[in-house]
């Protein structure tokens, strides 16, 4: 380790959003307000990169699942749960470790789900840019794949009217994604610069044993929110 390589790089991501399937909203957790704040829709964004991870909520442990992020589902995932013990004290539980294929049955039985960690740049009406992260699982996955969203420089619109779905007695909402034209040359130049910073961070992160991030501005979803988000009304992608 050299003098200049002792510290890990800080993430350039400003906010972490999650799709709330029971409400049909995309929200982030505001530390100052101490509540989940939905972002106004519609919004336009460009994808910079996509990784995979595990998220979810455990009734048994009364807490949320999380994992490291990986490039491939064949890479090693380490799943933990930030829960509570029988004395109602906060405790971190080690749940599973292995490729998604080897651990999926175990973690799904506990309430954890495959999640896409999508790094995007939001573009507002004034062409101001913000690098954020979308964590999409359950009911949000199929629309993501059906829209063929990737890092090709096209602008994607997250629509104002989510699609209502019904499974049994439960009603939930899927996001609607529409692929628009490619970003302008002026915006693309800024996107490339932002992606270069992101890739430097991800390269550092992925080579440092893929630690599990502790994100204090991540939406604090309760068990009802997680159940709605993870409803399998959408088809999960094939995990080869």
Furthest-apart CA atoms within the chain: distance in Å: 59
Query: For 225-239, how does the pLDDT look when each residue is reduced to its tens digit (9 = 90+)?
Result: 555 555 443 333 334
Answer yes or no: is pLDDT of 13 > 60.
Answer: yes
- With a threshold of 0.75, does the pTM exceed it? yes
The average confidence (pLDDT) of the chain is 84
79 contact partners, CB below 8 Å, separation of at least 6: 54, 65, 66, 67, 94, 95, 96, 97, 103, 107, 112
Q: Residue 232: what pLDDT? A: 42
Which of 138, 121, 143 has the alpha carbon at shortest distance from 189?
Answer: 121
Burial environment of residue 171 by CB neighbours within 10 A (0 to 12, 13 to 18, 19 or more)? middle
Query: For 62-107, how does the pLDDT look when each residue is reduced to its tens digit (9 = 90+)?
Result: 888 999 999 999 999 999 998 888 888 888 999 999 999 999 999 9
Share of the chain above pLDDT 90, in %: 51
Query: For 136-164, how does the pLDDT look when each residue is reduced to its tens digit (9 = 90+)?
Result: 988 888 888 888 888 889 999 999 988 88
């Amino acid at each position: 380790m050299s003098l200049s390589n002792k510290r890990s790089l800080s993430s350039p991501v400003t906010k972490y959003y999650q799709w709330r399937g029971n409400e049909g909203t995309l929200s982030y957790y505001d530390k100052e307000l101490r509540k989940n704040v939905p972002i106004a829709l519609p919004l336009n964004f460009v994808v910079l990169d996509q990784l995979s991870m595990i998220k979810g909520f455990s009734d048994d442990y009364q807490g949320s699942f999380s994992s490291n992020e990986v490039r491939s589902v064949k890479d090693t995932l380490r799943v933990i749960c930030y829960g509570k013990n029988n004395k109602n004290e906060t405790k971190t539980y080690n749940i599973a470790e292995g490729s998604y294929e080897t651990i999926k049955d175990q973690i799904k039985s506990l309430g954890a789900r495959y999640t896409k960690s999508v790094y995007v740049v939001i573009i507002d009406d004034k062409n101001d840019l913000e690098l954020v992260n979308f964590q999409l699982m359950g009911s949000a996955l199929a629309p993501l794949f059906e829209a063929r969203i990737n890092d090709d420089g096209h602008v994607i619109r997250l629509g104002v009217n989510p699609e209502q779905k019904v499974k049994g007695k439960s009603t939930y909402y899927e996001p609607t994604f529409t692929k628009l034209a490619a970003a302008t040359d002026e915006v693309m130049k800024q996107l490339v610069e932002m992606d270069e910073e992101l890739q430097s961070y991800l390269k550092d992160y992925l080579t440092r044993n893929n630690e599990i991030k502790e994100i204090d501005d991540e939406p604090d979803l309760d068990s009802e929110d997680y159940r709605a988000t993870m409803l399998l009304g959408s088809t999960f992608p094939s995990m080869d």
